[in-house]
Amino acid sequence: MKIAIITETFLPSTDGVVTRLKACIRYFLREGHDVRVIAPDLGVYEFEGAKIDGLPASTLPFYRSKKFALPNRNVKDLLLNYDPDVVHVVNPAILGASGVYYAEKLGYPMIASYHTNVAKYLDYYKLSPFKWLIWWYFRKLHNKAELNLCTSNTVKEELEERGIERVHVWKRGVDTELFHPNKYNQEMRDKLTNNQPEKRLLLYVGRLAAEKEIEKIRSVLERSDDFVLAIVGDGPHRKTLEGHFNGTNTVFTGLLHGEELAAAYASSDVFVFPSTTETLGLVISEAMASGLPLVAAESGPTCEQIQDNHNGLLYDSGKAGDFTETVLKFEDETLRKRLAKAAHEEISNLGWDSQSSQVLAYYKEIAKTQKRKVM
């Protein structure tokens, strides 16, 4: 079958959405299907046999660290020329709005997927009064799709409460061959600890943005000299964070990919994830596959992955100082090893094929029951 994927973000970006899409595309191609990606033009035009149609991209005034493609009429011609059996619009908002509009107008069967809690992000940018508008807009877009996917049961419940229809949970996945405890690397550990490998190494991986609440981690470093911190990633908040952590045992690595990223995970001791805005948090799965216990906020999506005192520790984001006290429990090496072992064992057989097979089955179902309505 011919699958068109229209996405707000793709290569060379490296976020969780891109990682999931790459895994899916590999699976679709391996199963003999044809894939076309429509995405912002960031200089990458092919991925392992799938053509990428890039559309003009630029930075937005409120988010200058990343380029986005605006709504574009060329989406219509791209769809007509490719003539897909199904259209998957990923995180429809800007370019994706054109995807939704033209897929509906041209009568193509359509699936949409929701990955980012944009409404929650507004709290961190003093834009909370506009939440109702965001939800109205997303509801309007998603309800044009024959089926909507999201990445956790908690998010599914919220979307349904907000009036978004036909919502299904898209299984999680992770590359368990790449992310594994055997990727430990002493040279990487020396780098991440600033040559203090005997210290307990806390690791954060992800986009550096205000809503990630990374600042909380400093309190641990101030309370105990036993801990050092490595922050892997980049984003609009990086300079602010570098100032905030100035004078502490913190290393900023910038973006890491592939084997380097796997080594960073496996060479650390504890993964810290302060954010309360995630719809899933792929990095949680990557950390678990790498044999790291976790500290994360007690929220719906994280509770679906982390069992308190089994494969990680959960903290109460509404209780002052609870994050710090929770991380400090890992001064107990016996606790750390027990939780690390459970984290790896729980996810070691996950892989990506199951979630890719799931969405392919949805494509086939939608393509069969909602054949193109010729306009």
DSSP result, 22-83? HHHHHHHHHTT-EEEEEEE-SS--EETTEEEEEE-EEEETTEEEEEEEPP-THHHHHHHHH-
pLDDT of residue 38: 98
pLDDT of residue 127: 79
What are the pLDDT digits (tens) for 19-69? 999 999 999 999 999 999 999 999 999 999 999 999 999 998 766 778 999
Mean pLDDT of the chain: 94
Give the CB-side neighbour count of residue 4, counting CA atoms within 13 A. Answer: 27
What are the pLDDT digits (tens) for 344-364? 999 999 999 999 999 999 999
Residue whose entry in the numeric block shows the structure tokens 């948090």: 281
- Domain ranges, ordered by start, for the chain: 2-173+352-369, 181-347
286 vs 165: CA distance, rounded Å: 31
Is 230:253 a contact under the CB 8 Å cutoff?
yes
Across the 375 residues of the chain, what is the mean pLDDT of every consecutive 10-residue run?
97 92 98 98 97 95 82 98 98 98 97 89 77 96 98 94 98 96 98 98 94 95 97 94 98 96 98 83 94 92 91 94 97 97 94 97 94 63
Is 236:64 a contact under the CB 8 Å cutoff?
yes
pLDDT of residue 118: 81
292 vs 305: CA distance, rounded Å: 13
Q: Which long-range contacts (CB under 8 A, 24 or more apart) does 155-161 make?
A: 155/114, 155/117, 155/279, 155/280, 155/300, 155/301, 157/300, 159/114
181-347 maps to which CATH number? 3.40.50.2000
224 vs 331: CA distance, rounded Å: 9
One DSSP character per residue, 196-253 reads: -TTSEEEEEES---GGG-GGGGHHHHHH-TTEEEEEE---TTHHHHHHHTTTSSEEEE
In this structure, the chain runs to a length of 375
Helix (H, G, I), strand (E, B) or coil at 147: strand
pLDDT of residue 61: 77
pLDDT of residue 306: 93
Sequence-distant (≥ 6) Cβ neighbours of residue 173 within 8 angstroms:
20, 23, 285, 350, 351, 352, 353, 354, 355, 356
pLDDT of residue 276: 82
Domain 2-173+352-369 identical in fold to domain 181-347: yes
Assigned CATH topology for domain 2-173+352-369: Rossmann fold (3.40.50)
pTM: predicted TM-score of the whole model, two decimal places: 0.90
